[in-house]
Amino acid sequence: MSYIFLYALVGMGLFTLGLYALIIHAHLLRKILAINIMGSGVFLVLVALAARTEGAAPDPVPHAMVITGIVVAVSATALALALMLRVRSETGRAELDEEPLSKFDD
Amino acid sequence: MNNTGENTIPLSLRLLLMVLLTVMAVGLAYAVLSLPAQAPGLSVYAVENINISGVSNPVTAVLLNYRAYDTFLELGVLLLALLGVWSLGCAGCQHQSSPGPVLDSLSRLLVPILIMVSGYLLWAGAHAPGGAFQAGSVLGAAGVLLLLAGWRIHAGLAGLPLRIALVLGVAVFALVGAVLILPGGQLLAFPPAYAGGLILLFETVATLSIAISLTALFLGADPDEEDAS
Amino acid sequence: MEALTQLQLAFDAVLGLALLWLAWQTLASPELFRAIVLFIAFGLLMALAWVRLEAPDVALAEAAIGAGLTGALLLTALSRLEPKNKSKIPHSKKPESEVDE
């Protein structure tokens, strides 16, 4: 079942892309988008691997975990957005302090 | 690409990051591709016990019977996220634009349909794709649409009634779980004779709690305090 | 039958590439508004991927949450992030660094 592994590989690609963007972007909204894409990648790997046995119905346990995960992801996103708005109203910027990285600038 | 904020990180560091992430991705790909091609996992047990689970949709059986404590804790997570959002307060939640005529009539048309779809998904979840999470999120979407169209919760309902609806899911899970422990059972282990009815009860309260929590998360601030201020 | 399998494999390949491309565009787009709209499109394509993986339950949840609610949450947060004197819909070509300050 080659197409199953295709989806698993796409999921891993999404996770890697999201991790890269999470690290390099300073803007918090972009970091939140990146975390959501990483999560989608993880879900894709889980569901793809649940369907990999040929001729059998997919394993329902990872499906249930992913459904729970999607709802948890949206509530975590809402909390992260509220935190971002609070950071913005405290500091005037929707970015975290870049101090730890500034020594690489020169 | 200069506007995206990436330029705060020097190119050399970014290249190093790309190399590290490529190594990680190759390692992950190797790990996934070297897994055995045939692995039924837990589906054998899930299908074996479907007759005593009270429903015929295996995913619903997993969510609300075999692993009901997952759903219980997930409702707890939703509640905690909402508490976090409320405790942060919300700058700029008050002002909002009035809806245009399109949004107004669209919400009048769509909200009843969404409520009906949600009810169908809740009922169908026992034997077909659907269930509490899908029904709850569709109902939550209806709530978000109402909020966008300018609807606000009645001041008399924003206090205690709203809080009761929010904790309804967690409270019913905890209460029924505790009752099931008393005669020597395990947490949320349903007796097969009552499983179908209990699952429907849990799904209904979970749907309501999920829908109201998601709508409240969208609103951002505690509507009770919003009115007071 | 053989032709159908080929067609399905081609569909899977296109869908996988579209998911990766949309994710990349979401994360690299200089405009936040565009990034969020692309993310909503990404969520809809994810729902298609769940159907292909024989997970209709997950597809329903993703279509309602991933494409609907998350998008609404993100767009509202973006509009609250913008200064009140600027236009609410940021389809002017302002980079976010200007919008932020």
> Chain C closest CA to B137's CA: distance in Å?
6
- The topology under which CATH files domain A2-93 is Helix Hairpins (1.10.287)
pLDDT range class, residue B116, cuts 50, 70, 90: very high
B46 has pLDDT over 60:
yes
Displacement of CA B132 from its chain's centroid (Å): 8
Of B139, B119, B157, nearest to B210 by C-alpha is: B139
Q: Which chains touch B (3 or more CB pairs under 8 A)?
A: A, C
Chains touching A (at least 3 CB pairs under 8 A) are B, C
Cα C100 to Cα A95: distance, rounded to the nearest angstrom: 9
Q: pLDDT at residue B176 above 70?
A: yes
**Residue B91 — very low, low, confident or very high, per pLDDT cuts 50/70/90?**
low
Q: In this predicted structure, which of A44-58, B101-115, C19-33 has the lowest mean pLDDT?
A: A44-58
Q: C65 vs A29: CB contact, 8 Å cut-off?
A: no
Q: Compare all CA atoms of chain A with the CA of C43 and give the residue at the minimum distance.
A: A40
pLDDT at C93 over 50: no
Better-scored residue on pLDDT, A82 or B188: A82
Nearest to B14, CA basis, from A3, B5, B66:
B5
Range of the domain at C55: 2-100
Is it the case that residue A17 has pLDDT exceeding 50?
A: yes
The number of domains in chain C is 1
In the structure encoding, which two tokens stand for residue B163, read together? 């809080």
- What's residue B68's pLDDT? 85
| A75: closest CA of chain C, how far (Å) | 9
Between A36 and B56, where is the model more confident? A36
Substitution target in B23, B217, B218, B219 with the highest count of A β-carbons within 10 Å is B217
Tell whether C64 is within 8 A of chain B (Cβ): yes
pLDDT value of position C1: 65
The label of the residue with tokens 């009815």 reads: B197
Residues C30, B1: C-beta atoms closer than 8 Å: yes
Strand partners, A95: A27
CA distance B39 to B158: 50
Dist. CA A10–CA A33, nearest whole Å: 17
The predicted structure's pLDDT at residue B142: 92
The mean per-residue pLDDT over the stretch A43-72 comes to 88
Task: Count CB-CB contacts under 10 A for residue C31.
Answer: 19
Q: What angle do CA A33, A35, A39 make, to 5 degrees?
A: 115
Asked whether the beta carbons of residue C56 and residue B129 sit closer than 8 angstroms, the reply is yes
pLDDT tens for A28-46 read: 999 999 999 999 999 999 9
Residue holding tokens 């929010």?
B166
Q: Provide the mean pLDDT of chain B.
A: 83
Instruction: Determine the average pLDDT of the residues in C59-78.
Output: 89
